[in-house]
Amino acid sequence: MVSRSLRGAIALIVLLCEGCAPKGGTMQVAYLKGNWAYGVTQGMWDYGETRECQLASRSSQPPDKRGDVLVCGSDTELAWNLGWLRPDLRNKIYENARLLKVRFRSSGHSSRNKGTWWICKRNDEEIICD
């Protein structure tokens, strides 16, 4: 039998982990394909496919007055990170971003060179990020 204090500790850990996840809801989501030097276009993200995504607000390049955006895919991420050098790339990301429902189920993964990121899966109703 699990002791009362151990159950309390487990419940507290679960609550703390839930509280670390970003608030979901409807947000701008960008997924672009192409080469930053030759141009990027909106990519296709089919239902059931997963993409590595990062919130612009948690990246090394913060969003501008147009607001936060979920940046998905390596081409989009590279374009976002070069946005300080090439404002046209950042404009292309915002122009091609779509308002979609997003649900974060974790606080994300962290790495020294990338910051916080999630593996996100698109279904017919929303994007779910773990």
3-state SS assignment for residue 64: coil
pLDDT at residue 7, rounded to an integer: 55
Range of the domain at 71: 22-129
In a domain, 106, yes or no: yes
Range in 10-14, 56-60, 63-67 the model is least confident about: 10-14
28: part of which helix (H) or strand (E)? strand 25-35
- What pTM value is reported for the model? 0.82
What is the DSSP track for 68-88?
-EEEESHHHHHHHHTTTT-HH
16 inside domain = no
Helix axes 74-81, 87-96, angle to 10 degrees: 140
Tell me whether residue 6 is in a domain: no
Residue 110 lies in a domain: yes
| SS3 state at 4 | helix
pLDDT of residue 6: 52
Phi and psi at residue 39, in whole multiples of 5°? 120, 145
Say how many domains are in the chain: 1
Two structure tokens written together for 54: 């990062």
